[in-house]
Amino acid sequence: MHKLLTMPIPASADLFQLADMCATFAVELVESTDTAESLALCGRLSFALTALRPLSDSFPPPHLVELLTANECPAPCVPDCWIDSYLLVDYAQSLTQALLSCTLPHTATVELTGLLHDLIMLMADYLKQPYLEREAGHE
């Protein structure tokens, strides 16, 4: 856990790296039973989500374009109302901030932690899902 809490989040991290970091923090958070550890994980998650936000709404760098390109794009893994990826990041950040407030009843904290975990897993999958179609003749 110490390594996870002290691992740097590089300014050069790309969309996939940040999505994976968020997923790692969310998995550990949902399994944590220690309040201080949970708060530290929420803080790290919030920082990673802040770094992810501008990348979620911009065109990917060249090294990710190929990974996000397919001959035929799959149906989005999120409902149409969440098709804008920045919304998923904003929702996750809002849930994280609610957990960091330490004002929720214990049962609400547990339930919202589970919801945050599920949302981040869905968000990470969606951010890595191909959405660019390969042009005919470029296969």
Tracing tokens 């470029």 back to the chain, one arrives at 138
pLDDT of 3 > 90? The answer is: no
Task: Report the pLDDT averaged over residues 111-138.
Answer: 91
Q: Would you state the structure tokens that stand for residue 30, as one six-digit string? A: 């949902």
Domain edges within the chain: 2-51+81-128
Q: Which residues contact 68 (CB under 8 A, 6 or more apart)?
A: 60, 128, 129, 130, 131, 132
Task: Report the pLDDT averaged over residues 102-123.
Answer: 98
- Cα dihedral 47→53→59→61 (10° resolution): 0
pLDDT tens digits, one per residue of 9-29: 999 999 999 999 999 999 999
Q: Would you state the structure tokens that stand for residue 128, as one six-digit string? A: 């890595």
Contact 96, 49 (CB under 8 A): yes
pLDDT tens digits, one per residue of 35-71: 999 999 999 999 999 999 999 989 999 999 999 999 9
Contact 111, 57 (CB under 8 A): no
pLDDT given at position 5: 86
pLDDT given at position 81: 86
pLDDT of 100 > 70? The answer is: yes
**For residues 5-30, b (16+ Cβ closer than 10 Å) or e, as one string?**
eeeebeeebebbbbbbbbbbbbebbb
pTM: 0.91
pLDDT of 139 > 60? The answer is: no
